[in-house]
Amino acid sequence: MTDPEKMIAAVHAYIDAFDKGNPDAVVALFAPDGKVEDPVGGPVQHGHDAIRAFYAANMETGAKLKLEGPIRVTGDHAAFPFSVTLHYQGKDQRIDVIDTFRFDEAGKVVEMRAYFGPTNMHGF
Amino acid sequence: MTDPEKMIAAVHAYIDAFDKGNPDAVVALFAPDGKVEDPVGGPVQHGHDAIRAFYAANMETGAKLKLEGPIRVTGDHAAFPFSVTLHYQGKDQRIDVIDTFRFDEAGKVVEMRAYFGPTNMHGF
């Protein structure tokens, strides 16, 4: 089982990498065959190349992430609430999101799922 | 797909039912073959009888739930951050949790998963 402190550190590294607009630093947190389902119910990005392209496109909005509460950790999973703020298409926008990460034994993310939808999007 | 407002109402009904110590009202929110994995990685309660017994035991602690941020809704899923406070075995205790609910087309919960672990338990 992955060390809880390592999972918590990975979440912080994820947020930092996103804020710095560094898709390679995000990709480095994922296992080679990792999956990203963002939002849950949407298309799944599978593998480093698809994940890198997905984050690179998202980062072009200039969005910033902010933790909005403690990172929950159980077994090989972490879950955390955060907000996304961006100034896009001339408007200040905010999205409230919860992400879940599942980790492998090497401490890499094998599955990320993002929970948010139209009721969580403000200012669009 | 389930109406987001119905999923949000179900989350509020869940918290109210827990706070009132009413396991039957919690069970009524679940599909007959619903599953509860609380915490994620632990035993799965499957079906109304197992779910009722699980909540009845949890409610004996007198725990109260409080939403700690917006309920996120996407597709047939909801996710929400909350705190659990209780006075148990002579001590004030708090647990920070994120639950995810998956709904069926009738608006009943078919899968509940609770994310929390030792790093989220305070005062124990």
Task: Tally helices (H) and strands (E) across chain B.
Answer: 3, 8
CA pair distance B30, B112, nearest whole angstrom = 9
Q: Count other Cβ atoms within 10 Å, centred on residue B49.
A: 11
CA pair distance A79, A7, nearest whole angstrom = 10
Cβ contact A57:A50 at 8 Å: no
Lookup: tokens for A20: 């710095």
Do residue A73 and residue B117 have CB atoms under 8 angstroms apart?
yes
A59's CB contacts (< 8 A; 6+ apart) are A18, A21, A23
Q: Count other Cβ atoms within 10 Å, centred on residue B102.
A: 19
- What is the average pLDDT value for chain A, to the nearest integer? 95
Cβ contact B110:B33 at 8 Å: yes
A-B contacts at Cβ under 8 angstroms:
103
**What residue spans of A1-124 are helical by DSSP H?**
4-19, 23-27, 48-59
Residue A74 clears pLDDT 90, i.e. is over it: yes
Do residue A78 and residue B39 have CB atoms under 8 angstroms apart?
no
Q: Which of B7, B94, B98, B111 to mutate to test the interface with A (most CBs of A within 10 A)?
A: B98
Q: Which residues of A form the catalytic set?
A: 14, 38
pLDDT, position B40: 97
pLDDT band at residue B21 using 50, 70 and 90 as cut-offs: very high
Cβ contact A94:A123 at 8 Å: yes
- Chain A residues with CB-CB distance to B81 below 8 A: 68-69, 81, 98
pLDDT band at residue B107 using 50, 70 and 90 as cut-offs: very high
Summarize pLDDT for A2-39 with one digit per residue, the tens: 799 999 999 999 999 999 999 999 999 999 999 999 99
Residue B89 clears pLDDT 90, i.e. is over it: no
- Chain A residues with CB-CB distance to B70 below 8 A: 96, 120
Question: Phi/psi zone of residue A62: left (φ > 0), alpha (ψ -120 to 50 degrees), beta?
Answer: left
Q: Which of A74, A82, A99, A100 to mutate to test the interface with B (most CBs of B within 10 A)?
A: A74
Summarize pLDDT for B40-67 with one digit per residue, the tens: 999 999 999 999 999 999 999 889 999 9
Query: What residue in A sits closest to B97 (Cα-Cα)?
Result: A72
pLDDT, position A72: 98
pLDDT band at residue B124 using 50, 70 and 90 as cut-offs: confident
CA–CA distances in Å: residue B37 to residues A7, A79, B111: 20, 15, 8
pLDDT band at residue A1 using 50, 70 and 90 as cut-offs: low
Domains and CATH numbers, chain A: 4-122 (3.10.450.50)
Task: Tally helices (H) and strands (E) across chain A.
Answer: 3, 8
- A12-17: Cβ within 8 A, 24+ apart: A14/A101, A15/A65, A15/A66, A15/A67, A15/A82
CA pair distance B20, B18, nearest whole angstrom = 5
CA pair distance B73, B78, nearest whole angstrom = 4
- What is the average pLDDT value for chain B, to the nearest integer? 95
